[in-house]
Structure 1
Amino acid sequence: MTHQSLLFIFLIIILGFGLSLFQYHKAVFKKDKTALLLFVLRGISYSIIGVLLLQLSIKQRTSEKQLTDLVLAVDNSNSIAQLADTTQVKEWVNSFIEDEKINERFNLVNLQFGNQINTLQELDFLEQETNLGDVFLESKQLIRSKKAPMVLLSDGNTTFGSNPVFESKQAMFHVFPVVLGDTTSYADSKIDQINLNSYAFLNNKFPIEIFVSYQGESDFDTKIQLREKGRIIEEQLVSFSKNQPTKRIMFEVLASEVGVKNFEVRLKPQTNEKQLENNIQEIGIEIIDESTNILIVTSFLHPDLSALKKSIESNQQRKLKILPIEEFSGNLEDVNLVIFYQPKSDFASAFEQVNQAKIPHIVITGTKTNYSFLNRIQNDFTKQINQSKEEYFPSFNTNFSLYQQDDLNFNNFPPLEDTFGSIELKQAANVLLHQKIQGVETEEPMMFFVSQSAPKRAYLLGEQFWRWRAESFLQENKSFQSFDNFMNKWVGYLSLEQKKSRLIVEANSFYKTQRNAKIKATLFDQNYTIDRNSSLYIKFENEEGTTREFPMLFTGSRFEFNLDALEAGDYNYEIFSPEQKLSRTGRFKLIPYSAESQFVNANSKVLKSISKNAKLFTLNDFEVLKRSLLESKTYQLIQKESINLKPLIDWKILFIFLIVSLSLEWFFRKYNGLI
């Protein structure tokens, strides 16, 4: 309490009793005892009110030590178990966490990382992949300091994710890397990557692209083999040198029979190589017979025809022929699908013969289509006849149920052109795309299927869809693959005999044991809208007959199951819905592969690049690292002082005294008949 506060209290008391004396001076001077008591009580009340109004307070100073955040990040991936002594790593981590001086100076944030970043718990070194870049992104969200130290225990190897060097600079950590594993470079040859399509077509040759590399000082000649069931089917000589440490190898294999084919790629190592697992990889491909002959009938040339031909023939099993309507002879013996492009009245005979032969067909309309003729020749829909033109944008129908089709970002596709007019469906149709006019979505179809009676039919109302293929090329990083797959699913559904199903499964014949290997399924209800209320389960049976059952995860539009829970091997599976009583079965092979097993030593180059001073520590440098952290002036303790204002006298106590004094005064005045 300061002298100034005491002076204020003294003055308030004098003023309070002065006011009370002013009110009771006559009675006080007469020495009336009752008046004297009332005078004292009134003076106390005035004094308390004055103290309350003045709100006298005192300053209270508190100080605390603010510790600097320090991130301890430990690599928990499988490569650590191969390259370092895991027991020594665990002992080092425990010693660091429990060190008294470290804890007196720093606030520890302990993390472990592999596929994901988690709070440090029990290190088991079983993670199958490493995302080193995310360590810096996630850690920055957990600390208060703009610049903080990070002790990173890692071999510096990363299998996926962003560039760790870039991310460390962006996060501005002061990184102290503790290298796990031998940084000495050993001679090593390995298979880096194999590119192979998921499917190949019968009697066609399919390519296998292999990238191999060699790390060593001397030249090295070896052989790379492609094996099937232990038998060498192709072999090539590979020559490495210091100037040419990488090679690209191509094999071409004939798809001679339908079914799943499994191969082994083997690169012969040097006799003194330490790591041999990265010299062998298994791959698989499914051979399918999907030969289809497609005929386009047209009365004029248009860029859409070229786009159709390129998209459809991207599947080597499909051949497309463009035929002018005047050359149509009715020979449909080898034709599996017919496309009528912008039909006019001279198409009448072609329509009649295609329907008689019950050949599935597609009708594509546009500004040159004769809708009077088209309304008469088919009973699936009618369109109002109008000569004005309109642009129609596509809108994807998420409830489309004929086959599995993803949204290709259709909302950003350019419009198609057609004559203006409303459309009336005469048959039940399954709509893939709706029309959107000037930003307004409508229920009118743009692309739809009709299959209530043979043959199956599909309609695309609008021309200029060659622009869709161009737009898809730009969106997919200069690749036509997504759009071509879209077109091939379209013609594939019509040209192949398929039964409409309420449970559609999307699965490959083989997978690798790595992240993002998934089986997907879509479930529809009785009205063929996506069923969001039912559940799907998947049951696996391995070669030994052991079965395992799991629920599938619903992601908003379909169900998925990640195959990470399974070991390598051959599996039969069944996907089923207990509520809908639907099921589908299949078979796949899970090929063993571990990205972590490809590393033979620590990546000291990466660790030096992210280090504060390009300096690396080892597990034997515990005391050296400890001194570097404790003696650094950058991470000194911060003494934080705060000043709080507290009331000099608790207002609650004063308020109680005020009520007591006023109550006593009222009582005595009442008792003496003064009220």
Structure 2
Amino acid sequence: MQNSTIIYIVIAAIAALLLALFQYLYKSKIKSNLKYLLTALRAISLFGILLLLINPKFESFTYFNEKPTLVIAVDNSESISYLKQDQKSREVVKVLKDNAEIANRFNLEAYSFGKSVFTLDSLNFNERQSNLAYALKQFGEIYANQTAPIVVITDGNQTYGSDYSYIAKDVKQPVYPIVLGDSTIHSDLSIKQLNVNRYVYLKNKFPVEVIANYSGNQSVNTELKIWSGNTLVFRKTLQFNASKTSEIIETTLAANSVGVKTYKVELTTLNNEKNTINNTKNFGVEVIDQKTNIALIYDRMHPDLGALKKAIESNEQRSVSILKPKKYLEKINDFQLVILFQPNNNFNTVLREIEDQKINTFIITGETTNWNILNESQDYFRQKITNQFENYQPILNNNYGTFIVENLDFNSFPPLKSEFGSLQITVPYETLLYKSANGITTEDVLLATFEANNTKHAILNGEDIWKWRAQSFLNTNSFNNFDEFINKLVQYLSSNKKRKRINIDYKSFYNGNDNVVISAQYFNKNYEFDDSASLSIVLKNKENESVNEVPLLLNNGNYTVDLSGIEAGLYDFTVKHNSESVAVSGSFQILEYNVEQQFLNADITKLNALANNSEGEVYFSNQILQLVEHLNKDKRYATIQKSTKNIVPLIDWKYLLGLIVLSLFIEWFIRKYNGLI
């Protein structure tokens, strides 16, 4: 309480007493001792009222002890069981959890991690990928304002994500890796990396790059072979020794027929080699007969042009040519789809040719679009011309049904600049994105698709889509989601397939550790999305003829099923409605590969770097008691006494108000009883 407040309280007490004395002793005609009681009651009432006006604030302190948190993170990936360290991992966790000194000194928080992070319930070591960097980043964010050393129980072999040995610099917590696995170096051959394009073109040759590694001290000879089925298509003799531990092998293979083609790369095994699984690796390519050529026509430079080209060409089946209107007219027959970027006066001839030849289009408008020309060149839509522009946020239409769209967190995307005024589409259409202004969703079109006169069209009524691609990267550390969104739109526009009541989204082949997720949309007879349908997928393994039926679950506006973990092989599938005769079929192949079985040893080097960069220390699984002793003695992890200060204003104290009311009532009652009022 401040000194000035104390002075005010003293003055209030004196003033209350003087006023009471003045009323009952100086001016009062009461002769009995009753006047002293009334003086006291009046002084209490006045003092209480003056206190409420001053409203002093009282501070109270609550003290408590805060123990540091000990984070236990356990690698739950398949490599732990493959290296026969699963039981040792469980023993280490049990020692840490059951130690009385650790429990007394720390608050324990236990997690398991693979590709993601989970609260530790049980350990089954069946995660098909491990991402220690992601786990450390999550712990760094959760425990940023605490003292929370991290014990990581792992073999250090990461199969997904960024390099974890440097991530500790951003975690701000000491990390103590407990090493699972053998640190002894054995002679071992492995295929470290295989680089090949997913799509190739018929009658072309495609490049294959193989990086072969060797660990050991002896000079060894081996042979690298590439098989297509039972046919040997490439072979090369390799030599390694202590100084030459890797070699890059490059070759080209011929694509002679359309479809998915699978290959196997193998290194001839060494005598007494412990891990032979990492000597082979399968890969696949999809042979297509032609590339989709897309013309992106512009008359002024804009960042959107580069963003669209990058996004579309992320799919190797497509090629984008950025052309001026005159150049496009010279090559008009070379393209299957035309993107018109902000058409103006120079697009007159292009617009007429597109209308005459019935070419599919994707129109993108903006500040320099000449809407008079665009309105007059076709009969499909009309924009109200105001020559005023507004920034509009995108809002996804969850009922959009022309093709399957994932929500890219459009709410976080920057707004696009668009003509103020409504866009009226005069043919049947579907809105993919609505406009939102100042948090209010309108019915105005930002992005829509429609079909007319046996052609397909899309219109994006706004510029600066390059900002969306950048924001997508900020959200996910990857351009993939945005690029896939644009490519689905391009695939729809460049295809002549008719609309179906069930749309499906899947890949023609998956690598062994990929997530195998199949998505579907179902529409009723009026082609309205039905979110109450009962869909299932019938999956048939073509090699062993086994058949499984799995239901599809509604998730984010799509029906999905996650088939990750099924065995490698060729599969046919049918997605069907369980009460109507509506179905669609497809096929895919899963290539045999388990990245978690590619390791022979623990990665001591990276775990040491992780510990050093975080001011922690590396321990082996048989040194767990030494780690416990270190954690209990380290002064950085002492229990801290903290206090909480509560400031309570007197006006919140109800007892004072009660005292004022009570004193006034007693004073009134005494005076009334004695006939003084």
TM-score under structure 1 length normalisation: 0.66
**What CA deviation, in whole Å up to 9, does each residue of 1:423-444 have, x standing for no partner?**
3222221223434567754322
Aligned residues with identical type, % of pairs: 30
Q: CA deviation at 1:534?
A: 2.9
In 2, distance between residues paired with 1:97 and 1:305? 55
Q: What is the number of equivalent residue pairs in this alignment?
A: 567
**What CA deviation, in whole Å up to 9, does each residue of 1:496-536 have, x standing for no partner?**
21212343221111223326332223344556565433343
Amino acid at match of 2:465: W
Amino acid at match of 2:457: R
Of 101-110 and 160-169, more deviation after overlay is shown by 101-110
Match of 1:584 in 2: 584
Of 101-110 and 425-434, more deviation after overlay is shown by 101-110
Alignment CA distance shift 1:134-1:423 (3 Å) = closer
Match of 1:347 in 2: 348
Contact 2:277 2:598 in 1 (8 A): yes
Alignment CA distance shift 1:624-1:563 (3 Å) = same
Give the alignment of 1:179-258 within 5 angstroms: 179-217=179-217, 222-235=222-235, 245-258=245-258
Match of 1:275 in 2: 275
* CA RMSD in angstroms, aligned pairs only: 5.2
Contact 2:325 2:350 in 1 (8 A): no
Contact 1:336 1:359 in 2 (8 A): yes
Contact 2:611 2:617 in 1 (8 A): yes
Of 114-123 and 221-230, more deviation after overlay is shown by 114-123
Match of 1:6 in 2: none
Q: CA deviation at 1:562?
A: 2.2
Q: CA deviation at 1:607?
A: 5.2
Alignment CA distance shift 1:272-1:528 (3 Å) = same
Match of 2:643 in 1: none
Q: CA deviation at 1:277?
A: 0.9
Match of 2:416 in 1: 415
Q: CA deviation at 1:563?
A: 2.2
Give the alignment of 1:36-75 within 5 angstroms: none
Match of 1:616 in 2: 619
Contact 1:313 1:320 in 2 (8 A): no
In 2, distance between residues paired with 1:362 and 1:453? 16
Alignment CA distance shift 1:149-1:422 (3 Å) = closer
Alignment CA distance shift 1:203-1:447 (3 Å) = farther
**What CA deviation, in whole Å up to 9, does each residue of 1:324-374 have, x standing for no partner?**
469959x976654455662659837963x6545443344555566554454
Contact 2:191 2:210 in 1 (8 A): yes
Contact 2:395 2:436 in 1 (8 A): no
Contact 1:133 1:168 in 2 (8 A): no
Q: CA deviation at 1:492?
A: 3.4
In 2, distance between residues paired with 1:104 and 1:492? 61
Contact 1:165 1:610 in 2 (8 A): no
Contact 1:183 1:602 in 2 (8 A): yes
**What CA deviation, in whole Å up to 9, does each residue of 1:371-427 have, x standing for no partner?**
4454444322223344x2424546243333222344556663463455x54332222
Secondary structure in structure 1 of the residue aligned to 2:465: helix
Alignment CA distance shift 1:72-1:158 (3 Å) = same
TM-score under structure 2 length normalisation: 0.66
In 1, distance between residues paired with 2:351 and 2:106? 83
In 1, distance between residues paired with 2:129 and 2:280? 18
In 2, distance between residues paired with 1:576 and 1:415? 39
In 2, distance between residues paired with 1:309 and 1:97? 54
Alignment CA distance shift 1:565-1:550 (3 Å) = farther
In 1, distance between residues paired with 2:149 and 2:561? 40
Match of 2:539 in 1: 540
The unaligned stretches of length 5 or more in structure 2 are 1-65, 641-677
**What CA deviation, in whole Å up to 9, does each residue of 1:550-588 have, x standing for no partner?**
223333232332223412222112223336654321111
The unaligned stretches of length 5 or more in structure 1 are 1-65, 639-675
Give the alignment of 1:483-562 within 5 angstroms: 485-514=484-513, 516-525=515-524, 530-542=529-541, 543-562=543-562
Alignment CA distance shift 1:615-1:509 (3 Å) = closer
In 2, distance between residues paired with 1:281 and 1:107? 45
Of 331-340 and 534-543, more deviation after overlay is shown by 331-340
Give the alignment of 1:15-414 within 5 angstroms: 77-84=77-84, 125-132=125-132, 154-160=154-160, 163=164, 170=171, 172=173, 175=176, 179-217=179-217, 222-235=222-235, 245-292=245-292, 300=299, 303=302, 307=306, 315=316, 317-318=318-319, 320=321, 322=323, 324=325, 336-338=336-338, 342=343, 344=345, 347=348, 351=352, 354-365=354-365, 371-386=371-386, 388-393=387-392, 395-398=394-397, 399-407=399-407, 412-413=413-414
Match of 2:15 in 1: none
Secondary structure in structure 2 of the residue aligned to 1:451: strand
Contact 1:78 1:127 in 2 (8 A): yes
Amino acid at match of 2:591: I
In 2, distance between residues paired with 1:142 and 1:472? 28
**What CA deviation, in whole Å up to 9, does each residue of 1:37-60 have, x standing for no partner?**
xxxxxxxxxxxxxxxxxxxxxxxx
